[in-house]
Chains A and B, each alone.
Chain A
Amino acid sequence: EDQVTQSPEALRLQEGESSSLNCSYTVSGLRGLFWYRQDPGKGPEFLFTLYSAGEEKEKERLKATLTKKESFLHITAPKPEDSATYLCAVRNPNPDNTDKLIFGTGTRLQVFP
């Protein structure tokens, strides 16, 4: 069964304390892995798309990496404004081309000053 698992469920960091969030997936024929940021009461905001193992993308303090079985979202020297829930999703090839995304349940990140 196609599945996306994110860990940890919650992460508390001190400002400046770097860490990584994990997204492991089991899908047949990955056609893209997506990272989103979601603030409380708001819709998910697109961060990155990764397509092949070894690929990396960066944006400010965030860097996403991809292997054949998992992706990491590395947060370097986080600030309180990085506090949010980070969602991972994978796109699965479907015969009917639904653009179906399989979402994980997210990692809730809190960064304290």
Chain B
Amino acid sequence: DADVTQTPRNRITKTGKRIMLECSQTKGHDRMYWYRQDPGLGLRLIYYSFDVKDINKGEISDGYSVSRQAQAKFSLSLESAIPNQTALYFCATSYRGTKYFGPGTRLTVT
């Protein structure tokens, strides 16, 4: 079984809709992250959390929010999706600086 799982794996939604991406991990790591990946831009950090009570903005947090429901669960929400949020989204955990990524969610906003 995968250590970091993401649901859904693919999602198509319309402009203005609210959408939530979910991430669960069984690695027992405290630190969790959300990244987005766009062609030619590399991976960029959206939000990160060091524990259930600690949430921090990354470099591109505008238009996104997160919730850390438990040590093992970290969800990302797009309150009102827009087309330029079309991207691959990855959840990750971290231990001693090394990131462990989930399989990704391909999100398309039409």
Chain A residues close to B by CB (< 8 Å): 4, 31-32, 34, 36, 41-46, 49, 87, 89, 91, 96, 98-101, 103-106
Contact = CB atoms under 8 A, between A and B. Distances in A.
Contact of A43 (B31, B44, B48, B104): B104
Contact of B42 (A91, A96, A99, A106): A106
Nearest to A44: B101
Given A36-B101, A101-B45, 17 more contacts: A34-B97, A41-B103, A43-B4, A43-B90, A43-B101, A43-B103, A43-B104, A44-B43, A44-B90, A44-B101, A45-B101, A96-B56, A101-B43, A103-B42, A105-B40, A105-B42, A106-B42
10 contacts: A36-B101, A42-B104, A43-B4, A43-B102, A43-B104, A96-B56, A99-B97, A103-B43, A105-B41, A106-B42
B18 interface: no
Instruction: Give the interface SS of chain B, mostly helix, strand, loop or mixed.
Output: strand
Interface string B85-110: 00000101010011111111010000
A49 B103 CA distance: 21
